[in-house]
Amino acid sequence: MNTPADRIELFSYWRSSAAYRVRIGLNLKGLEHQITPVHLVRDGGQQHSEGYAALNPQELVPTLVHGDLVLHQSMAILEYLDEVFPEPPLLPDDAPGRARVRALAQLVACDLHPLNNLRVMQFFSDTWNVPQTEREDWTRHWMQVGFDAMERLLVESVDTGRFCHGDTPTLADCCLVPQLFNARRFNVDLGPYPTLVRIDEACLALPAFDAARPENQVDCAG
Amino acid sequence: MNTPADRIELFSYWRSSAAYRVRIGLNLKGLEHQITPVHLVRDGGQQHSEGYAALNPQELVPTLVHGDLVLHQSMAILEYLDEVFPEPPLLPDDAPGRARVRALAQLVACDLHPLNNLRVMQFFSDTWNVPQTEREDWTRHWMQVGFDAMERLLVESVDTGRFCHGDTPTLADCCLVPQLFNARRFNVDLGPYPTLVRIDEACLALPAFDAARPENQVDCAG
């Protein structure tokens, strides 16, 4: 679909849920791309290397390079992809629908995931000496708070379909699926969230989501 | 500008930086609106009341009601306002520019502010008994990490102008200004961030930003 001049390179880490979101988006759009792994732990964290920090001063993944353009922030990247490669769309065509999808995506990307990512866990262990069990309690706590709200928002809306919004995947699904991967990793009880689980299952049945799974990445540690 | 059928009501708290973002956006668009204060501490937190939780299951501010529509998440709300009331625009008209503005906004809204908001501080004090000085160290730490990256991104780009992107305010400025208010509240040294400070000053010289300041809200505790 994209031409050689439009070369797309994604700096990714197999287990990063922000990178996972963009992998899903690239696959849904059918865009050929190269994945360059950035190991977030090895070498003191390759995201802190001088070369990568020049590309992304936040020293976080993902970074997407499209031609000469360097893009940061998973949701900004997904919106960009949706504008430049509009088919199939990741956002509905009405303003209220787009607001709903963005709000669901941001529930995960702003209020849930940032509290649980690697650098936060490292702060707790290295600076505050918080024991692992308490760090994991923290992680589960914020996931549950976020999932409680998301389940309710999905159950109570007629706009919820096979996916978070209607019957085609959107930005919200790109955020939900990686977050459920994280939840399973931390043994969050998903019993109270039947709608999240049902949508996750519907997503992962699609090849675009399946190919983006952490366990299907070249840099997966197994 | 908006008609009575388009009545806009913002559920806000004077010191919430997410609500502050939306207040700026409403003012920049010149949209008449009613502000309904939600006190985040009083009554055990009015955002946890049954009535408000029905409106916003995340039990967070802001919530924007526009006619029959209930909208959550500050950035989703700002994007909605920009689509429905396009003038003046909060996003540039080119896809790379929009991606840059969204990434700067998300640097604040996804990676910085969520780590420092009230519910996180309450978790530290109530569940982990973290002393106030350490809680404030945490807050300053994440602001400095975020500001280091944002200053560099702004200094290194030719797209930075009087404001974060060019010479008119965007979504990025709506996020930056409330975050600098928070930084001052927590005595973050802003010396290393001359560009952030310069842009903040340019913003606050505009009546739309000035009227949105926490200290200019009806519910300001002074």
pLDDT of res. B17: 95
Residue B21 domain-assigned (yes or no): yes
pLDDT band of A5, cuts 50, 70, 90: low
pLDDT of res. B5: 65
Which tokens in the block code for residue B205?
């010289």
The number of folded domains in chain B is: 2
Q: What is the mean pLDDT of residues A41-69?
A: 94
Does residue B155 sit at the A interface (CB-CB below 8 Å)?
no
Last residue of a domain, one of B52, B70, B88: B88
Q: DSSP alpha helices (H): ranges in B15-131? A: 17-28, 50-55, 74-84, 95-111, 118-126
Chain A residues inside the 8 Å CB shell of B80:
95-96, 98-99, 102
pLDDT of res. B3: 57
- What backbone torsions phi and psi does residue A49 show, to the nearest 5 degrees? -65, 155
- A102 and A83 in a common domain: no
Q: Which domain holds residue B25?
A: 8-88
- B81 and B147 in a common domain: no
User: The CATH number of the domain where B122 resides is what?
Assistant: 1.20.1050.10
Residue A216 domain-assigned (yes or no): no
- B185 and B108 in a common domain: yes
Which tokens in the block code for residue B24?
């700026």
- B120 and B56 in a common domain: no
Last residue of a domain, one of B36, B71, B88: B88
Q: What tens-digit pLDDT sequence spans chain B (222 residues)?
A: 555 568 999 999 999 999 999 999 999 999 999 999 999 989 889 999 999 999 999 999 999 999 999 999 999 999 999 999 999 999 999 999 999 999 999 999 999 999 999 999 999 999 999 999 999 999 999 999 999 999 999 999 999 999 999 999 999 999 999 999 999 999 999 999 999 999 999 999 999 999 999 999 999 986
In the three-class reduction of DSSP (H, G, I as helix; E, B as strand; rest coil), residue B165 is classed as coil
Report whether A115 contacts B103 (CB < 8 A).
Answer: no
Residue among B83, B99, B107 minimizing CB distance to A58: B107
**Residue pointed to by tokens 């502050």:** B20
Q: Do A98 and B75 touch (CB under 8 A)?
A: no
> In angstroms, what CA-CA distances link B23 with A104, A203, B118?
21, 36, 19
pLDDT of res. B1: 52
Angle between helices A171-185 and A17-28 (to 10 degrees): 140
Does residue A201 sit at the B interface (CB-CB below 8 Å)?
no
Residue A135 domain-assigned (yes or no): yes
Closest CA to A188 of A138, A153, A222: A138
pLDDT band of A6, cuts 50, 70, 90: confident
pLDDT band of A102, cuts 50, 70, 90: very high
pLDDT tens, position by position, A117-169: 999 999 999 999 999 999 999 999 999 999 999 999 999 999 999 999 999 99
Q: Do B109 and A110 touch (CB under 8 A)?
A: yes
Work out the mean pLDDT of chain A and round it to a whole number. 95
Assess whether pLDDT exceeds 70 at residue A3.
no
- A32 and A112 in a common domain: no
- B206 and B124 in a common domain: yes
Report whether B200 contacts B184 (CB < 8 A).
Answer: no
Residue B220 domain-assigned (yes or no): no
- A184 and A121 in a common domain: yes
Which helix (H) or strand (E) segment is A71 a member of? strand A69-72
Which helix (H) or strand (E) segment is A119 a member of? helix A118-126
Query: What is this model's ipTM?
Result: 0.96
Residue among A58, A76, A111 minimizing CB distance to B99: A76
Q: Running DSSP on this structure, what letter comes out for residue A31? A: -
Residue A222 domain-assigned (yes or no): no
Last residue of a domain, one of B88, B110, B133: B88
Instruction: List CB contacts of B55: < 8 A, sequence separation 6 or more.
Output: B11, B63, B65, B70
The percentage of residues in chain A with a pLDDT greater than 70, rounded to a whole number, is: 97
In the three-class reduction of DSSP (H, G, I as helix; E, B as strand; rest coil), residue B63 is classed as strand
> In angstroms, what CA-CA distances link B121 with B118, B124, B144, B176, B215?
5, 5, 17, 21, 22
Nearest-angstrom CA–CA distance, B72 and A220: 36
- A178 and A124 in a common domain: yes
